[in-house]
Every structure is written in structure tokens, then in C-alpha cells.
Amino acid sequence: MPPPPDDPGSSSARTPLIPTPPPRRAVTRLHPLPLLVAAAFAASYHLLVAPSPSYYHSLLLSLGSNDTAAAHLRALTLRPHHAGTEANARAAAHVVSALSSLSFPARVAPYSVLLSYPIHRSLSLSAPGHATTPFALVQDTYPGDPYAAVSAEAVPTFLAYAASGSVAAEAVYANYGRPEDFAYLAARGVNVTGKVVLARYGKVYRGDIVMNARKAGAAAAVIYTDAKDYAAGKAFPYGPWMPPTGVQVGSTFKGSGDPTTPMWASSEGCERVSIAEAMATDDMPGIPALPVSGRDGEAILQLISGDVAPEDWQGGDGKPVRLGPGPAVLNLTYIGNETMVTIQNVISVIEGKEEPDRYIILGNHRDAWTFGAVDPNSGTAALLELAQRFSELQKKGWRPRRTIILCNWDAEEYGLVGSTEWVEENRAMLTSRTVAYLNVDSAVYGAGFYASATPQLDELLKEASKQVQNPDNETQSLYDLWMASASSSLIGRLGGGGSDYSAFVQHIGIPSVDISMGSEYPVYHSLYDDFVWMEKFGDPLFRRHVAVASMWGLIALRLSDEEILPFNYSTYALELENGAIDINGRLLGVPVSLSPLQNSIEEFKRAALQVDSELKALQTWKVWYPWRNNPLKVRDLNERLMMTERAFTDREGLSGRPWYKHLIYAPSLHDDYGAQVYPGVDDAIQMAERRNTSESWRSVQHEIYRIARVINQASLVLSGGLT
């Protein structure tokens, strides 16, 4: 572009022009009072005619389009689009095109990361007196399947990052594969060493199942979908339940992000550990493993003898289940290909007007194990439908006060890879500028509303849900639906490692939210998670997609548009207190003092009360003196509200798990899906209970002091004081 006229390099500067002076005329001096009145009138007129943020919030809710959501979902799920494939690149192009068509500039942020693909899989079953049974390890298409022709493009059933190898050994049944299940087997004298463990999906993360099997001495693991949990009714396409050959595929990696760049970003030219080193870490399963269907799992169980399993270990087919080992022998071979692949995050920025350096980030991932109609592209469809609404708001004159960033992550299914790499690469900017991260993974599983959040956002969630219509009952709000459900007494917490909020909350301490309609669906991670399943069972009218987008968008608008951030830390203080009560119950009779934690919580409660008083005073002041402005006061208060969550992080991270910096929320040590309050203390207590040494109990005390220190830091940030 040409330089401006007053630039020294411009033609105007090189050839100065001498203007002709204007003729003299009389000068009228204006009295300052009328000028002030005129300025005040102009300002008040602007306030009168300019729509308030609430106008745009109401407009957003009126613009929902189930047709738009359905069209995007159909386009995104035409074929399986596994991370690292050409089909997933085409899905990324669809997201870029959709955002660009709305005048939202969209760019691709690529990363080279280690992903895992199957090369060879085989599994057979034998037992004395029985012929050897080879398993096909194939998910059958269903009658009338419109996607039958492209189903072959789906990745073969496998568990990502499982170790390559061959094992032939007796089978042992281990229920859900939890530590307590293996402890029960040991107590019953069932030897797992060198055996192939058969466990059923449910209760804990599949990577924990395989890791627990390895720690118990197993040589390999097989995980199946039991009818009790996944086939309790008519199978798809006649009902929503898993067909007999359905298999839940997935990752077994317990870390977050690219395995070759632990703790740092996978940027161009970066340092990397070797693939062999990455595969040898404790975050990898370390033994061969395969997922199988319910039909194959039941066939294996029928040939396992030994003691009868407890009642709560029994499956859904009604046949008695035994523990083993043997005489059933499983011959398992898995050969994987761990290779560097380029993934693509899609990023789009809607720049804020008054505070462009403050970010509200909305994120959803795009990659799927198969067609991904529920997981994750119901969320992607909701994101694009919401973007359409933002575009309509812009046409009506809306510009957010703060910047809104729309993110579509890649390779989430492998271990939150795309979001983690982006957060690690942009850590300094994000920690200094991000107000909140709003996550939607699978927007729609079915009926019911579910939400999780860091506690300062609890009240905002409830308030927003009162404004969104229940998609299944026009006379109710989403709040009414929520409060009538079993989840009404609890907003979930974001300690689990199940979705892309993990890097934001657990690594850098960003206030966050995660929402969905429904909580579970039987065809999870299988070939049957397609558009037909969604259209028949998940959301036939696509009203639930619209409701999630409405809730997502309304929370985003309130965080981006309101002058004072709608955070409430009194809820956080209560959460910290309840967590301490739970810990106290576990420490009765042991030489550990909870006083440091209790004292720090009391200090945090005082800081929360102080900031509540400031908020009320400021709101009152703004009502009675709207023509006066104190932007520095507002900015200071917002900074404290925004940065308090960061103070709960510790640069050293959890003991033995340094990537997890947040000392209040992180995954449970034995279940990556499970959220744990005070995870460092929980880890230390579990260790002390096993060892029962003075040193191990001192470690518990140390972790209590660590938590007390970050809570004290959070109190200082929230109160805005220095010691």
C-alpha cells in the first residue's frame, strides 16, 4: 500500500505544496457551558440509540438455525475422517470455507506430531476340546447403511500407541480393569502375570485399563463392549444401542499433546525426543492391546473357567462369568506404525473493539475415529452454526468488547494433541490475555443438559441456561431441564483429561466451561457414530444442536461484552472448603496436619468477600453515575478476576506429573477421565496408604503445604494486594 501523505518517503513530502491562505473572517467565541451540554447530549444520544449488549444477546438467541447445524453435520460426516488423513484435511477445508464465507478470516495452524496407525492385527481363541476361533475384527455395516461404500475407509479397529508384539497366553477376566479389580484378583489367588487380560469398557479410561494390566504383570490386554453397558436395548439401526460387531476404538496414551515434544510445543525446527523414546515413557501402555466387539468378548468369556466372578462383575448376556486363568488361550498380534504426521488446527479471530487484548476462546475438535456424527462433529456443526449467528450480529452493528477466538482442533482423539500444542506454543500470550476458554466436544449425545466448569463460572452458567429454551419442551428453559435432572446438584469440574479444556485449565490455569446435551451414547467411537444415528436417535430435529450453540454463544457474549467480568469466586471458596473436608476424612488418625490448607482457605474466603463487595459497589456506582467513567478501576478488577485462576498453578506441576500445573484440578491418577480435587494430595495419600511409612506421610504433608501456598497466592491476586 502507498505510504501516507505525511510520511517522509511520500511524494507529498518530496514536493511540498504551499497552500493559499484563506480569507480573514470574524471569529465567534463559544461559551464553554453550551459546548459541554452539547457534548453530553451527543454522548447520551449515542447511548440512547446504540443497542445495549443485552439486545445482541437476545438477537443471538433468536437466530438459531437447526437447518444450518444439520447441513454442516451432514457435510462433515460424509466419510470417516481420522486424524492425519486426507478426509480430515477436507473436513478442515470445510471449516475454513464456512468461516471465511462469513467474513471471519480463518487460518490453519499446522503441527507435526507423532500419531499411531495399525499395520497388522490378529486375534484367535482356543481351548482344550474346542476348535481355534479366529476373530474377524471387523465392524459390519447395517441394513440400508448409506455409508456402506465408504466404511472401508475407516481405520481398522485398534488401540492407538499400543505396543507392537505377539502374545499367546491364558485369558484372565478383570472386570473394568481398575486397580481395585486387579487387587481383587490377587486376593482370590488369580495370577495375572504373563496372561492376556480381558476387561470390559466403562468406569475408567481405556489407557488406564491397559496400564493397570501391565502393572499387574499381564503380557497383553483385550477390551470389549459388554452388553450390560452398551447393548441394553435394540441395536442400531433399529435402536440406539451398539450392534453385536460394534467396537470402541481409541487412544491409550495417558499424556497430553505430541509425545515427541513433552512439555513444549511441536513447532517447526523444535527439539524432539526420538519415536523410540516417546514410546518407552510411562504414559504409553507398554504392552500389545486390542479392542473387540461385545460378541467376541462374550465368546472369550464362555471359555474362561475358574472361580465364579462376583455379582457386580457379571455381564449383560446372562451367562455366568468366571475369573480364569484359562483354559481359554488368546493368541494376539498387533503391529503398529508410529509416525510423524501433520495435523491442522483452524483458528478464526473476531477482534474486540474496546479490549482487543482480552480473549474469549471457543474450541471444539474435528477429528473422529470414524464418521464422528456425535463425537466430535455435533460440536463442530454447533460451532459453525454459532459463527453464522455472530456474522448476523455483525451485520446489525455488533462488535464484541473483547476478542472472540474460534478454534477447531485436530488430533484430539489421540491425546488432546492439537489444542495442547497450540496452548504450549502460545503459552505466554494466552496466560496474560485469556479471560476464559469455552469448550464443546460432542455437543449432542441425546436428551438432558450437562455442564462442567471452574467454579467462578458456575453462576454465569446458571444465569445463561435460564435464557435458553429447552429444545425438547418449549414451555421450559434449559435451566428447568437441568434442575429437573439427576445432575442438578452438581456442576462437574474440569479435572478430567477427556477433552480440549485440559491444556487451558490444567496446564496454564484458564477459567473454563464444557457443555453438552446428553452425557453418553452406546455407539461411542464405533463405525455407527454416523449421521443416521444422530438423525434417528441423537437429535432428530437438530434443536439440541441449536440449544448448545445458544448456550455456548450466550456465555461467550456475556464474557466478551459485559464491562465487568461475570465471575463469582464465593463458589470457588466453597469448593476449596468441601475438598478439604473430604481430605480430612481420609487423614483421621495419621500424623498429618490440615491446618495450612484450612488457614489458606479462610484467607481466600475473605478475599472472595472483599471482591464481592467491590463488585456490588462498582455496579451501584455505575447505576447512579453513568456519565462518569473509571476504566482503570474496572480494568484492575477484571485483571484480578481473570488472573486468580492462574495462581492455582505451580511451575513444578504435580509430583511425577509435571505437565499438570494446576494443583486444584487434574485427572485422577488411575482414571484419566476422572476429575480429582487436590490431585497431588490424593496421589500422595494413595502412596502413603500402600507404604505406610513416616516418609510417605511427610509427602502428604508437603503436598498440603503446596496447595496452601497456591491458594494464598490466589487470595493475593483476587484481593489485589501485596504482602
With respect to residue 398, please indicate whether it lies within any of the assigned structural domains: yes
Based on the domain organization, do 179 and 211 belong to the same domain? yes
**Residue 576: how many other CB atoms lie within 10 Å:** 24
Q: What percent of the chain has pLDDT over 90?
A: 84
Based on the domain organization, do 122 and 108 belong to the same domain? no
Q: Is the pLDDT of residue 42 over 60?
A: no
Distance CA 59, CA 41 (A): 28
Quick one: the chain helix, strand, coil %, rounded to 5?
40, 20, 40
More confident residue, 296 or 318: 296
What integer pLDDT is reported at residue 622 of this predicted model? 60
Based on the domain organization, do 481 and 590 belong to the same domain? no
Residue 37 confidence class, pLDDT cut points 50, 70, 90: very low
What integer pLDDT is reported at residue 205 of this predicted model? 95
Distance CA 603, CA 608 (A): 9
With respect to residue 21, please indicate whether it lies within any of the assigned structural domains: no
With respect to residue 548, please indicate whether it lies within any of the assigned structural domains: yes
Q: Which position has the grid cell 474469549?
A: 360
Residue 506 confidence class, pLDDT cut points 50, 70, 90: very high
pLDDT tens across 62-89, in order?
A: 999 999 999 999 999 999 999 999 999 9
Listed range (181-190, 270-279, 446-455, 622-631) with the worst mean pLDDT: 622-631
Distance CA 215, CA 282 (A): 11
Based on the domain organization, do 448 and 550 belong to the same domain? yes
Q: Is the pLDDT of residue 166 over 60?
A: yes
Q: Which grid coordinates are listed for 422? A: 497450540
Q: How many residues does this entry show for the chain?
A: 723
With respect to residue 1, please indicate whether it lies within any of the assigned structural domains: no
Q: Is the pLDDT of residue 354 over 50?
A: yes
With respect to residue 14, please indicate whether it lies within any of the assigned structural domains: no
Q: Is the pLDDT of residue 29 over 50?
A: no
Contact in structure between 250 and 291 (CB atoms under 8 Å): yes
pLDDT tens across 536-563, in order?
A: 999 999 999 999 999 999 999 999 999 9
3-state secondary structure of 100: helix
What integer pLDDT is reported at residue 674 of this predicted model? 76
Q: What is the CATH number of the domain that holds 525?
A: 3.40.630.10
Q: Which position has the grid cell 494433541?
A: 417
What integer pLDDT is reported at residue 11 of this predicted model? 31
Closest CA to 503 of 430, 413, 403, 406: 430
With respect to residue 67, please indicate whether it lies within any of the assigned structural domains: yes
Q: Which amino acid appears at position 38 of this protein? A: A
Based on the domain organization, do 354 and 491 belong to the same domain? yes
Based on the domain organization, do 276 and 304 belong to the same domain? yes
What are the phi and psi torsion angles at 544 (to 5°)?
-70, -35
- What is the rounded end-to-end Cα distance, in angstroms, of the chain? 52
Q: Is the pLDDT of residue 157 over 60?
A: yes
Q: Which amino acid appears at position 367 of this protein? A: D
For 629-634, what is the mean pLDDT?
Answer: 79
For 458-467, what is the mean pLDDT?
Answer: 97
Q: Which position has the grid cell 479462610?
A: 602
Based on the domain organization, do 348 and 304 belong to the same domain? no
With respect to residue 50, please indicate whether it lies within any of the assigned structural domains: no
Contact in structure between 233 and 254 (CB atoms under 8 Å): no
Q: Is 503 exposed, middle or buried (CB count within 10 Å of its CB: 0-12, 13-18, 19+)?
A: buried
Based on the domain organization, do 362 and 396 belong to the same domain? yes
Angle at 543 between CA 492 and CA 441, to 5 degrees: 40
Q: Is 18 exposed, middle or buried (CB count within 10 Å of its CB: 0-12, 13-18, 19+)?
A: exposed
Q: What is the CATH number of the domain that holds 139?
A: 3.50.30.30
Closest CA to 556 of 73, 72, 56: 56
Based on the domain organization, do 547 and 419 belong to the same domain? yes
Residue 621 confidence class, pLDDT cut points 50, 70, 90: low
3-state secondary structure of 609: helix
In our burial notation (b when 16+ CB lie closer than 10 A, e otherwise), range 223-237 reads bbbbbebbbeeebbb
Give CA separation, 410 vs 95, 344, 421, in Å: 12, 6, 10
What integer pLDDT is reported at residue 631 of this predicted model? 80
Q: What percent of the chain has pLDDT over 70?
A: 91
Mark which of 561, 594, 628 sits at the end of a domain. Answer: 561
Residues that are catalytic: 412
With respect to residue 34, please indicate whether it lies within any of the assigned structural domains: no
Mark which of 336, 371, 387 sits at the end of a domain. Answer: 336
Residue 617 confidence class, pLDDT cut points 50, 70, 90: confident
Mark which of 561, 587, 608 sits at the end of a domain. Answer: 561
Give CA separation, 689 vs 149, 544, 695, 697, in Å: 55, 46, 12, 9
**Residue 589: how many other CB atoms lie within 10 Å:** 5
pLDDT tens across 137-147, in order?
A: 999 999 999 99
For 362-366, what is the mean pLDDT?
Answer: 98
State the DSSP string of 361-393. Answer: EEEEE---SS--TTTTHHHHHHHHHHHHHHHHH
Based on the domain organization, do 104 and 210 belong to the same domain? no
Q: What is the CATH number of the domain that holds 702?
A: 1.20.930.40
Q: Which grid coordinates are listed for 388? A: 453464522
Q: Is the pLDDT of residue 480 over 80?
A: yes
Residue 485 confidence class, pLDDT cut points 50, 70, 90: confident
Q: Is the pLDDT of residue 399 over 60?
A: yes
What integer pLDDT is reported at residue 261 of this predicted model? 98
Q: What is the CA radius of gyration of the chain?
A: 29
User: Which residue segment(s) compose the domain that 99 sits in?
Assistant: 55-113+340-561
Based on the domain organization, do 329 and 379 belong to the same domain? no
Looking at the structure of the chain, the number of domains it has is 3
Distance CA 638, CA 435 (A): 9
Q: Residue 676 contacts by C-beta under 8 Å, 6 or more apart in sequence? A: 495, 665, 666, 667, 668, 669, 682
Contact in structure between 707 and 680 (CB atoms under 8 Å): yes
Listed range (168-177, 240-249, 623-632) with the worst mean pLDDT: 623-632
Q: Is 58 exposed, middle or buried (CB count within 10 Å of its CB: 0-12, 13-18, 19+)?
A: middle
Based on the domain organization, do 484 and 391 belong to the same domain? yes
More confident residue, 32 or 483: 483
Give, as one character, the DSSP assignment of residue 324: -
